[in-house]
Amino acid sequence: MSVIPAGTLAAMHSHDQSTEVLAEAIVRYAVERMRMDPPPLDHSMSAEELRRAAGPTITAGGLGGLEALRVFGEVLAPACISVDHPLFLSFVPNAPTEASILFDLVVGASNVYGGSWMEGAGAIFAENEALRWIADLAGLPPEAGGVFVSGGTAGNLSALIAARWRWRHRAEGAHDRTRGLMIASAGAHSSVAQAARAMDADVVLVTAGDRGEMRGDALRSTLDSLDAGDRARLFAIVATAGTTNVGVVDDLRSAADAAEELGTWLHVDGAYGGAALAAASVRDRFEGIERADSFIVDPHKWLFAPFDSCALLYRDPNVGRAAHTQHAEYLDVLHDVHDEPWNASDYAHHLSRRARGLPLWFSLATHGTEAYSEAVEITLTTTRETARLIDQCADTELLMEPELSIVIFRRVGWTPADYQAWSDAELAAGRAFVVPTTWQGEVVLRICIVNPRTTIDDIASIIDSLGSGAS
């Protein structure tokens, strides 16, 4: 007689006919979503509207998979703006390849634990291959390595914790209770200040050049203005390779010179712009990046991977590991299973992790690196053409030549309220999502192009809608 009566194994852990039906529905949904060109732009809704439209979703008996999928597809998904729509040009959009999206489904189904080599060797090996490609683009040495984390915010924090670790380690205890200090460009992303808050460290910002970039002379005078006490507290110089607001690259060579002279860490934040290392037409802007101690780039921004993914690289991964490895009775077994285990958890502020670098790896393996270079170049070409259109249009004024793939411009005669009203109307009509930004104190328009499917005709339609009479 069986000790476990039939039917006791919860239905949710058994594979039967209903699983097959649900699998087919889910895969069909995923493929249909990918096939839409473009997907509906959609728009946000209030929690109250969603509650009314969705009805109760968490119930004692469950809705069943098909019904839950219906609620998602009909109610919830349309309340999420399609970041991969070719006219989503706000913030930094995202345009994953079909191969990367499909493989994300496999990563979920395989449920790999990506934290330790013992459990995730194959996945971590593949992630490291993708990291190697990025390290080679940057010109980092063969021993460079790191890990994929959730985003630039996590990448910057983890890199800066490693920088501080090295500074304290070198001081042999003298700075264990000293509050650290970092120097960053005025155009640095908000996550750098956030990392400083989390680390209880100080940030000194270098006055920006006219394009918002950190120049060598300004960095030098900021360093000169530090007193001896502050200089002793300096543990990192943070340079930005592609500012989020306007897409300019700091003078990385001067930053590397200064870091070398002072024996301090150089971190390069390329969360948005680092992808352009793959594009020959702008590669020279990044000179000096090969001397960085750490570098990040978000494949979920301009390297065509789905959310979420940030590649974090260290010149000397031993520092990252020393700063981040967690020790406990139940973890130490992980550290001696293999001659050279690459425990991905050890290189950032995390432990359990999804092997989130795999969608990028699969897509790179599928298409080859040249396809990536070409796709980035396509977006750069569209950006340059956009700048020309804005130049030619009587109602718009280009505020600077784009360095990477961000264009900022003025609509002559518009007030901040005009910009907002136009932006809201474009979104409400499902045409485009372009939000205003601020440049040198003035509200202006900003377009960020990372989607190879964004065409210049698409952009022309936006510029037309800004014309006199429209508002």
Ligand X SMILES: *Cc1c(COP(=O)(O)O)cnc(C)c1O
Does 403 participate in binding ligand X (rule CB under 6 A)? Answer: no
Size of the residue set binding ligand X (CB under 6 A) = 14
Say whether residue 407 binds ligand X (CB under 6 A). no
Nearer Cβ to ligand X, position 148 or 414? Answer: 148
Q: Does residue 191 interact with ligand X by CB under 6 A?
A: yes
Query: Which one of 165, 272, 295, 422 is in contact with ligand X (CB under 6 A)?
Result: 272
User: Least distance to ligand X from the beta carbon of 272, Å?
Assistant: 4
CB 444 within 8 A of CB 438: yes
269 lines the binding site for ligand X (CB under 6 A): yes
Stretch that binds ligand X, among 6-14, 147-155, 254-262, 345-353 (CB under 6 A): 147-155
Work out the angle between the directed axes of helices 252-262 and 216-225 (0-180°, nearest 10). 30
Contact map string, positions 170 to 189, toward ligand X, x by CB under 6 A = -------------------x
Q: How many CB atoms lie within 10 A of CB 197?
A: 9
β pairing state of 145-149 and 310-314: antiparallel
Q: Which of 95, 310, 380, 449 binds ligand X (CB under 6 A)?
A: 310
By CB under 6 A, name the one of 97, 158, 240, 383 that touches ligand X.
Answer: 240
Q: Out of 213, 251, 298, 426, which residue is the one contacting ligand X (CB under 6 A)?
A: 298
Q: Which stretch binds ligand X (CB under 6 A): 167-175, 213-221, 266-274, 428-436?
A: 266-274
Site string for ligand X, 70-99 (x = CB under 6 A): ----------------------x-------
**Which range binds ligand X by CB under 6 A, 13-21, 122-130, 148-156, 342-350?**
148-156
Least separation in angstroms between residue 243's CB and ligand X is: 6
Least distance between ligand X and beta carbon 294 (Å): 13
Q: Are 329 and 304 in contact (CB under 8 A)?
A: no
Binding flags for ligand X, 362-401, as an x/- string (CB under 6 A)? ----------------------------------------
37-45, 94-102, 269-277, 444-452 -> range binding ligand X (CB under 6 A):
269-277
Residues in the site for ligand X, rule: CB under 6 A? 92, 151-153, 156, 189, 191, 240, 244, 269, 271-272, 298, 310
